Structure 1
Amino acid sequence: MDQIKLNGMMFYGYHGVFPEENKLGQRFTVDIELFTDLKKAGQSDDIQDSMDYGQVYQVTQRVVEGEAKNLIETVAEDISKALFEQFGMLQAVSIYIDKPGPPIPGYYESVGVEIYRERQDDV
């Protein structure tokens, strides 16, 4: 399966289980791998045969900068659902969300979650 990758997208959101995270917010970095067949796009050189990276960014931005969630696991799940709804040619997606400097005891560069989802018949 071919892939389109969007790396290091940065957004500001209010996700977390601690009240200060919901009030102050923080930066989130998102990497996405989109799995689809790109042969037709490679032959036609037509964006209609591929997935518009700008639209992928906008879908991701709406979720990350939208309604606050307790868990970044939920944010990742919501991104995957929105991408499957927006892009009929999308067969699978891998999403990594990185949360720099989490407000938990200890010293961390970041914490993150990665999910992989495939298109289901009911999507």
Structure 2
Amino acid sequence: MAGAFTGDRIILKDLGFYGYHGVFAEEATLGQRFFIDLELGVDLSEPAATDRLSTGISYSDIYDVVKAAFETQRMKLLEAVAGNIVEKLFETFQSVNWIVIRIRKPEAPIAMVRGEAGIELHRQRKTS
């Protein structure tokens, strides 16, 4: 596992979505805001040298995969939502070696005056 989570990366931060994930019935009915931060470990040498999008990964394509995975099915746990997104990103982008994903839930149903609840997963592509 040497070199995991190091090197080049594509970063997307504060991707905002409205969703219905959560344990409580109110979360399924009313929904709430979620924010996602991503780091995708991918060799960016070729796009850096060629200045051609065709040699890299489009940020827009990453966003589309994240949005579709986020909206596909309602889940109770943020960990499951993040795991689903990671799985879809690895399936779609073969050049991605590792992913760090953080999902934040500012209106989590806990008695906090300020702040947010969230999770972060660190995943490396499984080799067969």
User: TM-score with structure 2 length normalisation?
Assistant: 0.91
Instruction: Give the aligned partner of residue 107 of structure 1.
Output: 113
- Out of 28, 40, 47, the position equivalent to 1:41 is 47
Q: Alignment RMSD, CA only?
A: 1.1
Deviates more, 1:62-71 or 1:4-13: 62-71
- Out of 10, 22, 28, the position equivalent to 1:4 is 10
- Out of 50, 54, 65, the position equivalent to 2:60 is 54
Residue ranges of structure 2 left out of the alignment (5+ in a row): 1-6
- Out of 89, 92, 97, the position equivalent to 1:86 is 92
8 Å Cα contact 2:32-2:107 kept in structure 1: no
8 Å Cα contact 2:103-2:120 kept in structure 1: yes
For residues 40-96 of structure 1, the C-alpha deviation after alignment (integer angstroms, 9 at most, x for no partner) is 111111112111100110111112222110001000000100000000100001000
Tell me the secondary structure at the aligned position of residue 29 of structure 1. strand
Tell me the secondary structure at the aligned position of residue 122 of structure 2. strand
8 Å Cα contact 1:14-1:68 kept in structure 2: yes
- Out of 68, 71, 78, the position equivalent to 1:72 is 78
Residue ranges of structure 1 left out of the alignment (5+ in a row): none
- Is 1:95 the counterpart of 2:70 in the alignment? no
8 Å Cα contact 2:100-2:121 kept in structure 1: yes
State, as a whole percentage, how many aligned pairs show the same letter.
39
Query: Of Structure 1 and Structure 2, which has the larger fraction of its residues in strand?
Result: 1
For residues 21-48 of structure 1, the C-alpha deviation after alignment (integer angstroms, 9 at most, x for no partner) is 0111111000000101100111111112
Distance across 2 between alignment mates of 1:41 and 1:85: 21
Distance across 1 between alignment mates of 2:79 and 2:28: 16
Distance across 1 between alignment mates of 2:117 and 2:40: 22
8 Å Cα contact 1:33-1:93 kept in structure 2: yes
User: Which amino acid in the other structure matches residue 84 of structure 1?
Assistant: F
Q: Which runs of 4+ in 1 moved over 3 A?
A: 105-108
